[in-house]
Amino acid sequence: MEPIQYDPRYLQGIALFNDLEFFESHEVWEELWSEVTGESRKFYQGLIQMAVCLHHFGNGNMGGARKLYHSSRKYLEPYRPKYLGLDLDQTLAQLEACCAEIVASEERYPEIEIDAELIPELHLDTP
């Protein structure tokens, strides 16, 4: 069985995401997303929105983070439990834990700081 060949931009986006370079990972994935058609298009859109959610969270834009948290989940949920080597059950559970405080807050502009220990990490399964 041949190993899966992932688009280099998918892998670059994962590396940037794991380096907490959320805006940059979003940029790389957006380039890939703009060229993709078919079933993986919404998956990439979900990754883009997850990265932007965390970018907003880190910059104190709780409204944007909350909105993109929900939309990223909407795009990624249909690909559970795993897609393109990514354990989405684990990723979405980590995202939920990371964003729980902003999602639960009823304040319009809550002052919540992102907990670095709860930021999701993306790891591909090795075949």
The CATH number that applies at residue 100 is: 1.10.3450.10
125, part of any domain? no
Over residues 69-117, the pLDDT tens digits come to 999 999 999 999 999 999 999 999 999 999 999 999 887 777 889 999 9
99, part of any domain? yes
2, part of any domain? no
Contacts 24+ apart (CB under 8 A), 74-80: 74/46, 75/42, 75/43, 75/45, 75/46, 75/49, 76/43, 76/46, 76/47, 76/50, 78/42, 79/42, 79/43, 79/46
95, part of any domain? yes
Give the model's pLDDT for residue 2.
Answer: 57
Question: pLDDT confidence of 54, banded at 50, 70, 90?
Answer: very high
102, part of any domain? yes
23, part of any domain? yes
Number of domains in the chain: 1
Domain that holds residue 56: 8-107+114-118
Least confident of 4-8, 61-65, 86-90, 118-122: 4-8
- The larger pLDDT score, comparing residue 117 to residue 126, is at 117
Residue 127 has pLDDT above 70, yes or no: no
Question: pLDDT confidence of 125, banded at 50, 70, 90?
Answer: confident
123, part of any domain? no
Give the model's pLDDT for residue 1.
Answer: 55
61, part of any domain? yes
